[in-house]
Structure 1
């Protein structure tokens, strides 16, 4: 009975409490209505901003909300937060005040390139109070760099000047020419109406054969960046012989030129746009140094000679020429040349250099040593483009059967190597060193072959194989491609591979970073010889590969 009494008392108290609450509710009904301050549009979720390639535009994606009639977007170079009144910063841009933004995505225009912007958005309606501001998860985005410069042609360059072209009537205030990080020339464009209107200016007083970067600004905003290299001056020598357009390289002409030299060094300057075909081996004269130099112009002079035979020469140099396999035989009938140098006679050469050359279509090696008694102490490729044939070759770019290579350098060179087996081969013979720096290497090795091969692990480069700032992209056969066969120490720095560069044996022992993409993901059009880096996800886009293909920002 006592338990029932307790329950009765509890229920009685609860009923009394409910009665009191009900009475109070009837007396204060307005306390349960919705506060008008909270009767507003929901805030939007912002998916993100995609900067456009044009540099002055970016696209915002967001989720629309029910009841919104339009949206307002505010961007600013200054920080935005709720206490900042809309449009109150000095750099604010507001989109949608004309009620035109009704759906996602929306492309914002009129931005400055390469600039960090803060962003916010709110939903608007004529019938319901506006939403609160929505912000990006990281509050800001950055526009891409803009490029208003046009490509620089050979006609725009001399040894000491450049003509720059950019978008006519663009908003620009200043132009700079940099050598490395140092500003060498500054042009104020604010009062140069002719340059701004026409979008062109000539810069004089530059150094020959020098890399420069041009930057054009609107105030402090970079609107264009482009690199260029001034032409080389004709190299000095004991004798500088300037060929005429109607002369052709031959043994007779070479003997005539050499006979005029009172010293031991000869530069043969070849007119731009000329073609030299010779169906016999060009025999260099013992004891002389030769530089075959292409005078700057719209097209490099072409050397298409059956082969070149060396003697004991201090220097053999090809500079700013196209070495092409499209040659002739001794009877003048068309044929494809197999080598540039295919040496069988004893010779000691201190230096063989290819600089700023296009080397196109040779069936076998560029330089081949056949016999003992031959030593090429130093071989250098610098700033070259090397394109093999599409037919399989039995040889490497440099190929030693029985003699000796000394120092080997591949610098700032593009190897488009369909047809070549690999970069370097020496059959059980050491070399001094192999250095590969700032190179783009595509489509080697061939099936079953090596990038670098000493035929066994008993030989190698005695001072090591050093590779820096280089990209290896694609192999000819992913099921049978090999790396380096040698006993050399391998030292790598900033070396990259694409995921279609796959080695099945003799893996690189130096440190390599893998790019998560194929060669076609990384380059604009590698099959057509365009190795311009296009992926912003590539960590080496500013400092890896041949310099001409890199991004600048």
Structure 2
């Protein structure tokens, strides 16, 4: 009985299995016989002309297909490109035993800036023809910038762009601010556009705009419209000089002080890059409210002005020295020295080359001086303060609002960058390249006797053998000062006060730069310096 019961149970079990198979034997739609679509698809980084995407793998996929549609949001009505990536060429970014859990990352180049794209992808098994479903996303590329720089003049501007980039048209116009109808109505910025300029290959990435107004804000745009209009760069600039007074053209051999004598209000001295000038002591007489020393580039050359110093015979508002190659004749220790009540409210050196000043570019030592700002921007400064005092020396002032040193190359400077013994509202030292060679030493970089109310020191490079001597970041231990975002090369040896939070590089200035002893601070492309495009004077960045 027991044995028969076993056979019976076995028969029932086998019969039951057969019945289950018969009951569930239905067909299926071959159209749905496909791998699962990726479980992850997203952008990692969006640049003006490229995007990096991340995705999880598809089981048995031998390739991945990516389709880009431009100008819509996940509609895919305007497919502009299709890219295929072979699975066996991918390197996992984050590997897993399961393909569907392995993350891959891929870059796609040659996109248009300032554009909306939809992108979808699928996995394909080429051996069977099976394909996964699509997964899609939408993203916007940021603004592109192929302008490398714009050098303004008094009545002109030289536009420079990357000639390897495709572009067909430059548009430019004067920016004007419409007056509000009422006190509560905000002013509106409008643009008066000039006739667009068609670009040709013989321009080689450079165009000079003529007939501009002095002291006026302009905007330039560069476009490519081979298929549709694509904005490839935008640059805002201001022409040199005053908007309210015609420039005084200075010719080689002119007595500059004679040209200034008797002038009142706003005065613009316009110098030409194809000439050299001599001033000795440049005397600014009483009656001048704002002085512009404006250099107009000619064939890439700044006007060269050999002089001793500026002297002010009365207080004035603003002094702008722009795009001039100033070489000290050694007859004065300071390029600008304020020791009495004849002070400026603001002084700016912009885009200049300044060399051979024995001591400081600006020496402020007056208890009467009420100064709003001292600014040095976009300059190349060489062999300054070799007799001491430092680049800027501020011993006395009734008040001082700001000191800004931004986007400069400082080459062979001694004593210190700044000797600041008064209270200042704001001190900024950003995006500068500093280098001292084997013959020039700086014992400290900043002497700040009083803590500035606001201080920013970042995105700068400190480098060089520094005359074989050690240096200090500051004159004292400034526990309130961080050098985050800055870099120090290995050959700049520290005494006792380090650049707190700065990145210390494993290579020397000679390895980092192309030819620093001869003033070429382009980065060595073989190093792939991580600060390229962020730190130091932007003129040396890889374009």
State the TM-score bracket (shorter-chain normalisation).
0.5 to 0.7
Q: Which residue of 1 aligns with 2:277?
A: 276
Q: Which residue of 2 aligns with 1:334?
A: none
Q: In structure 2, do the counterparts of structure 1 residues 124 and 413 end up closer, same or farther at CA, with 3 Å as the change threshold?
A: closer
2:300 aligned with 1:302: no
SS at match of 2:306: strand
2:237 aligned with 1:229: yes
- 2:351 touches 2:379 (CA, 8 Å); kept in 1? yes
Q: Which residue of 2 aligns with 1:120?
A: 120
Once the two structures are TM-superposed, the CA of residue 68 in structure 1 deviates from its matched residue by 5.7
What do the CA deviations read for 1:57-93 (whole angstroms, capped 9, x no partner)? 557687887876765332335455xxxxxxx732344
What do the CA deviations read for 1:448-484 (whole angstroms, capped 9, x no partner)? 5242333xxxxx37xx543469644436689853347
Q: Count the aligned residue pairs.
A: 481
Q: In structure 2, do the counterparts of structure 1 residues 93 and 288 end up closer, same or farther at CA, with 3 Å as the change threshold?
A: closer
SS at match of 1:19: helix
TM-score between the two structures when normalised by the length of structure 1: 0.61
Distance in 2 between the 1:453 and 1:319 partners? Answer: 26
Q: Which residue of 1 aligns with 2:77?
A: 90
2:448 aligned with 1:453: yes
Q: Which residue of 2 aligns with 1:349?
A: 342
Q: Which residue of 2 aligns with 1:159?
A: 155
- 2:350 touches 2:376 (CA, 8 Å); kept in 1? yes
Distance in 2 between the 1:210 and 1:225 partners? Answer: 20
What do the CA deviations read for 1:349-398 (whole angstroms, capped 9, x no partner)? 2217234251423364324659x878655362254514233997743212
Distance in 1 between the 2:265 and 2:113 partners? Answer: 55
Greater share of residues in strand? 2
Q: Which residue of 1 aligns with 2:412?
A: 419
Instruction: Please identify the structure whose Cα radius of gyration is greater.
Output: 1
Q: In structure 2, do the counterparts of structure 1 residues 52 and 380 end up closer, same or farther at CA, with 3 Å as the change threshold?
A: closer
- 1:72 touches 1:122 (CA, 8 Å); kept in 2? yes
SS at match of 2:15: helix
Q: Which residue of 1 aligns with 2:97?
A: none
Q: Which residue of the other structure, out of 408, 422, 429, is the alignment partner of 1:431? A: 422
Q: In structure 2, do the counterparts of structure 1 residues 8 and 364 end up closer, same or farther at CA, with 3 Å as the change threshold?
A: farther
Q: In structure 2, do the counterparts of structure 1 residues 329 and 417 end up closer, same or farther at CA, with 3 Å as the change threshold?
A: closer
What do the CA deviations read for 1:95-126 (whole angstroms, capped 9, x no partner)? 26xxx765657876774423343322224467
- 1:444 touches 1:451 (CA, 8 Å); kept in 2? no
Q: Which residue of the other structure, out of 6, 15, 19, is the alignment partner of 2:14? A: 19
Q: In structure 2, do the counterparts of structure 1 residues 89 and 188 end up closer, same or farther at CA, with 3 Å as the change threshold?
A: farther
TM-score between the two structures when normalised by the length of structure 2: 0.62
Q: CA RMSD in A?
A: 6.1
Q: In structure 2, do the counterparts of structure 1 residues 164 and 195 end up closer, same or farther at CA, with 3 Å as the change threshold?
A: farther
Q: In structure 2, do the counterparts of structure 1 residues 44 and 438 end up closer, same or farther at CA, with 3 Å as the change threshold?
A: same
What pairs up with 1:350-429 in 2 under 5 angstroms? 350-351=343-344, 353-362=347-356, 364-367=358-361, 377-378=370-371, 380-381=374-375, 383-389=377-383, 394-399=388-393, 406-407=399-400, 409-411=402-404, 413-420=406-413, 421-426=415-420
- 1:470 touches 1:546 (CA, 8 Å); kept in 2? no
What pairs up with 1:58-137 in 2 under 5 angstroms? 58=51, 71-76=64-69, 78=72, 80=74, 89-93=76-80, 95=82, 102=86, 104=89, 111-124=111-124, 128-135=128-135
What do the CA deviations read for 1:305-351 (whole angstroms, capped 9, x no partner)? 2x3274753248452253534x5578xxxxxx8642468xx644221
Distance in 2 between the 1:513 and 1:220 partners? Answer: 47
What do the CA deviations read for 1:144-190 (whole angstroms, capped 9, x no partner)? 54446575455xx653778798989958798776679965336599x
Q: In structure 2, do the counterparts of structure 1 residues 388 and 48 end up closer, same or farther at CA, with 3 Å as the change threshold?
A: farther
- 1:465 touches 1:490 (CA, 8 Å); kept in 2? no
Once the two structures are TM-superposed, the CA of residue 407 in structure 1 deviates from its matched residue by 2.2
Q: Which residue of 1 aligns with 2:251?
A: 244
Q: Structure 1, unaligned stretches of length 5 or more?
A: 81-87, 331-336, 455-459
SS at match of 2:10: helix
Distance in 2 between the 1:486 and 1:44 partners? Answer: 55
Once the two structures are TM-superposed, the CA of residue 268 in structure 1 deviates from its matched residue by 5.0
Distance in 1 between the 2:505 and 2:142 partners? Answer: 22
- 1:149 touches 1:166 (CA, 8 Å); kept in 2? yes
Distance in 2 between the 1:384 and 1:148 partners? Answer: 19
Q: Which residue of the other structure, out of 316, 322, 326, is the alignment partner of 2:324? A: 322
What do the CA deviations read for 1:517-545 (whole angstroms, capped 9, x no partner)? 9999xx999964569xxx9x99x97xx99
Distance in 1 between the 2:358 and 2:410 partners? Answer: 11
Q: Which residue of 1 aligns with 2:141?
A: 143
Distance in 2 between the 1:485 and 1:232 partners? Answer: 40
What do the CA deviations read for 1:403-426 (whole angstroms, capped 9, x no partner)? 657526434743423433433215
Once the two structures are TM-superposed, the CA of residue 277 in structure 1 deviates from its matched residue by 4.6
2:434 aligned with 1:443: yes
Distance in 2 between the 1:59 and 1:513 partners? Answer: 30
Q: In structure 2, do the counterparts of structure 1 residues 32 and 524 end up closer, same or farther at CA, with 3 Å as the change threshold?
A: farther
SS at match of 2:240: coil
